[in-house]
Amino acid sequence: MAQHFLLSKAARTLNLTKVARMSDDEAWSTFKAIRWAATDGEAFCPRCGCLKHSFIATRKLFKCAGCRHQYSVTSGTIFASRKLPIRDHLLAIAIFANGAKGHSALQLSRDLDCQYRTAFVMAHKLREAVAAEAADVTLAGNVEVDGAYFGGHVRPENMKADRRDRRFAENQTGKRRVVVVIRETKGKAVAFAFRSEAESVPTIVERVAPGSVVHADEAKGWDRLHASFQTRRINHQEGYSADGACMIGPHEVVRG
């Protein structure tokens, strides 16, 4: 399977400042080049795969010569709902593809100046889309693991003291999930959803080559990593809140 376009060189080399200055037409062309990177930017029908099409310039729509399906540059991608302008999709891709830890939903919402919930959904979709097509990827070298919780409700004022209890209780309800991103420093990334960080460890062991150095925060779930890897722990600040969401280190929590 071809590499997901979000992980392509074209996506990784997107420059934030350049994107921010793009006209609508430039943003559209750039998105097209990235989305169809596998065919050198040539559009093809997301329904039947046909490369032949006519183009309705006024509406920026392609019409498939094979099945007559009309599709846009975002059709069939996670950006298809188009709640944001294409330039913002590109910004999201640039932030996501370039950021070591810089693509948290909170950061995304600040950078895109959009609502936290919109950014959260987008960040989650980005990770999910990449994860879905990353089935055979192995990572090596310096590897960071990071968990982002979602689906729970935590009152910020109680978060610090109750952290472990709440996590335990909410895990018991079965509603919370943690999206764990496994990322080579400045390299490939894969993401999976689990019920807890500890539950993700076997997948990490499977995906990360022996001899790699794994970087993780101090969450207890990561302790098991020490059995398989040289593991370095990062000390994050205890917690803060903003935009109705709160974070403990890299663990994002939204009101559910």
Closer residue to Zn ion in complex, CB, 52/226 = 52
Closer residue to Zn ion in complex, CB, 62/229 = 62
Q: How far is the CB of 43 from Zn ion (least distance, A)?
A: 11
51 lines the binding site for Zn ion (CB under 5 A)? no
Q: Could you give the CA distance from residue 238 to residue 233 in angstroms, rounded to a whole number?
A: 14
65 lines the binding site for Zn ion (CB under 5 A)? no
48 lines the binding site for Zn ion (CB under 5 A)? yes
| Type and span of the H or E element at 95 | helix 86-98
Q: Could you give the CA distance from residue 93 to residue 5 in angstroms, rounded to a whole number?
A: 10
116-132 vs 86-98: helix crossing angle, rounded to 10: 60
Closer residue to Zn ion in complex, CB, 31/71 = 71
Closer residue to Zn ion in complex, CB, 63/236 = 63
- Of 28-47, binders to Zn ion (CB under 5 A) are 45, 47
Q: Give Dmax over CA atoms of the chain in angstroms.
A: 62
50 lines the binding site for Zn ion (CB under 5 A)? yes
Checking 242-249 for CB contacts under 8 A at 24+ apart, the result is: 242/106, 243/106, 243/109, 243/116, 244/116, 245/105, 245/106, 245/116, 245/120, 246/154, 246/156, 246/159, 247/104, 247/106, 248/159, 248/160, 248/163, 249/217, 249/218, 249/219
64 lines the binding site for Zn ion (CB under 5 A)? yes
The 66-95 contact track toward Zn ion, x by CB under 5 A, reads xx-x--------------------------
Q: How far is the CB of 75 from Zn ion (least distance, A)?
A: 11
Q: How far is the CB of 68 from Zn ion (least distance, A)?
A: 7
Q: How far is the CB of 61 from Zn ion (least distance, A)?
A: 13
239 lines the binding site for Zn ion (CB under 5 A)? no
Q: How far is the CB of 82 from Zn ion (least distance, A)?
A: 20
Closer residue to Zn ion in complex, CB, 64/154 = 64
Closer residue to Zn ion in complex, CB, 67/80 = 67
Angle at 164 between CA 144 and CA 123, to 5 degrees: 45
Chain residues that interact with Zn ion, rule: CB under 5 A:
45, 47-48, 50, 64, 66-67, 69
